[in-house]
Amino acid sequence: MGANIGGHLVAEELYRHGVRDIFTLCGGHIAPIYDGCLRYGIRLIDTRHEQAAAHAGDGYARLTRGVGVALVTAGPGVTDAVTGIANAFQAQAPLVVLGGAAEVRSVHRGALQEMEQIPLMRTITKWCATVNDPKRLREYIQSAIRIATGGVPGPVFLELPFDVLMAQVDDNELIVPPPLPPWPRMQADPAQVEQLVAGAPGNPNAIIRGVAFSLQPGEVLAVVGPSASGKTTLARLLVGLWPAAAGKVRLDGADVFSWDKSELGPHVGYLPQGVELFDGTVAENIARFGPVEKAKVESAARAVGLHEFILALPQGYDTEVGRDGAILSGGQRQRMALARALYGDPVYVVLDEPNSSLDEAGDAALAAALLELKARGTTFVVMTHRTSVLAVADKMLVLRDGMQQAFGPRDDVLAAIRKASEQAAQQAAQQVAGLAAPQA
String of DSSP letters for 385-422: S-GGGGGG-SEEEEEETTEEEEEEEHHHHHHHHHHHHH
The span from the CA of 252 to the CA of 37, in Å, is: 38
d(CA 356, CA 363): 9
Q: Are the C-beta atoms of 196 and 247 separated by less than 8 Å? A: yes
327-355: per-residue pLDDT in tens? Answer: 788 888 888 999 999 998 888 999 999 88
Domains of the chain in sequence order: 3-173 (3.40.50.970), 191-421 (3.40.50.300)
> Is the whole-model pTM more than 0.75?
no
Q: Which residues contact 49 (CB under 8 A, 6 or more apart)?
A: 25, 80
In terms of Cα–Cα distance, which of 246, 257, 241, 261 is closest to 212?
Answer: 246
CA distance 383 to 399: 10
Q: Which residues of the chain have pLDDT under 50?
A: 1, 182-186, 188
Side by side, which strands form the sheet with 156-161? Answer: 43-46, 21-24, 68-72, 95-101, 156-161, 127-130
CA pair distance 185, 267, nearest whole angstrom: 11
Tell me how far CA of residue 256 lies from CA of 135, 136, 196, 237, in angstroms.
46, 43, 13, 8
- In this structure, what DSSP letter does residue 369 have? H
Predicted pLDDT at 1? 43
CB 96 within 8 A of CB 68: yes
Integer Cα distance of 357 and 304 in angstroms: 14
